[in-house]
Amino acid sequence: MSDTTFHPRAKKTWLHSLATSALVALVVSLFGAVGVVRAVNADLDTVKREEIATTALSPPDAEFENYLFVGSDSRVGADPGDADYGNVGDAGDIGGQRSDTLMVLHYVKRTGTVSLMSIPRDLWVAIGNGENEQRINTAYQEGTDVLVRTVQRALNIPIHHYVEIDFQGFKRIVEAVGGVNVCVEYPSRDKHTGLFMKAGCTTLDGVEGLAYARSRYFEQKVDGEWELDGSSDIGRSARQRGFVQALAKSAVHGVSGNPFKAGDVLKGGLSAVVVDANLNLIEFAKKLRPAAGGNIASFPLDVYGDMVGSNSVLKLGKGADELIAFFNGTGPRPQLNP
């Protein structure tokens, strides 16, 4: 079994699942609102295909589809001239690749509804076929097929498609849509990622968006005192889901306001993504059109803190059963909390 000890990860983590989910909305906005499909067929052909993950996917279901969104923390392509290079590092700064926070997008074929579920990176699960137990983000190190099997086994849900985005790709997407508008009630920061935001709404560029998305030490200044968000991965997942929706809206607004920008936005997104061998990107975009307009139900996975040896981890709570039943097709969609 691999090392399970918590280590400082300020320079070694990022939010990946959010980025890939945002790409979904970005592609949808282009295909659905601008109609540039024919013009970009050649670009679609250049998208990388993940053959290994494909071997572990579930067979198609007549009622619904589940898409696993994953982000690689690879530093390949990191530019020493980037403003966040000191926080991000390069390919030699990490021992192998990991996934951080995962998301599963659920599409119901009959109604066309789209729902998003966050999976905390510190969820304690059986890896792969159950050979050992570890945090879920370590499964990626064993292979994309192992990650798919791990998610399917741990949550008892099928995974029909796989979408992955890399570290540098996240920034390209945010830059391509012209930045993402994010609002905070109080001045906010993360000294580990270089994030600082004034109270109110700010348009974040690629570097700033990545700093916000990967923040694990998020603080807000309330009544003159900096307060650390003590909810850890849970709070970060909530911020990530909100960022997904904000990026989707930015894509729609930016492209509809400047149709000539569509090609650049699409190329920026597609250059950052890897998908399974069976995924039809045009059909994928059509199905996920509601996500581009912000019409997407976002659900946290109910978890609780626990200790495994000396390690602080998260485990599934009883409240997760209802959400899991919806994502495996055996139950209705849960009610959204106000």
Q: What is the pLDDT of residues 101-149, one digit of tens each?
A: 688 999 999 999 989 898 988 999 999 888 799 999 899 989 999 999 9
- Report the candidate in 67, 21, 53, 50 with the shortest Cα–Cα distance to residue 149: 53
Q: What's the confidence (pLDDT) of residue 167? A: 61
Higher pLDDT, 124 or 166: 124
* Average pLDDT, integer, range 94-102: 57
Percentage of the residues of the chain whose pLDDT score is greater than 70? 68
- Is the model's pLDDT at 202 over the cut of 80? yes
| Measured distance CA(273)–CA(250) in Å, rounded | 19
Q: What's the confidence (pLDDT) of residue 42? A: 60
Confidence class for position 153, pLDDT limits 50, 70, 90: very high
Give this prediction's pTM: 0.72
Q: What is the pLDDT of residues 183-200, one digit of tens each?
A: 999 999 999 888 999 999
Q: Where is average pLDDT lowest: 112-121, 189-198, 299-308, 322-331?
A: 112-121
| Measured distance CA(297)–CA(308) in Å, rounded | 33
* Average pLDDT, integer, range 295-312: 89
Eight-state DSSP code of residue 61: -
Residue 223 phi, psi dihedral angles, 5° rounding: 55, 40
Q: What's the confidence (pLDDT) of residue 198? A: 96
Q: What's the confidence (pLDDT) of residue 165? A: 77
Q: What's the confidence (pLDDT) of residue 172? A: 78
Q: What's the confidence (pLDDT) of residue 3? A: 38
Burial class of 293 by CB neighbour count within 10 A (0 to 12, 13 to 18, 19+): middle
Q: What domains lie within the chain, and their CATH numbers?
A: 17-176+248-327 (3.30.420.590)
Count of other CB atoms within 10 angstroms of residue 121:
25
Q: List, as one string, the DSSP characters of 7-26.
A: ---TTT----HHHHHHHHHH
- Is the model's pLDDT at 83 over the cut of 80? no
Q: What is the pLDDT of residues 64-77, one digit of tens each?
A: 999 998 876 654 55
> What beta strand segments (E) does the chain contain?
48-50, 64-72, 102-108, 114-119, 124-127, 132-135, 161-166, 180-184, 188-190, 195-197, 200-204, 219-222, 225-228, 273-276, 297-300, 303-308, 311-316
Q: Where is average pLDDT lowest: 14-18, 95-99, 231-235, 332-336?
A: 14-18
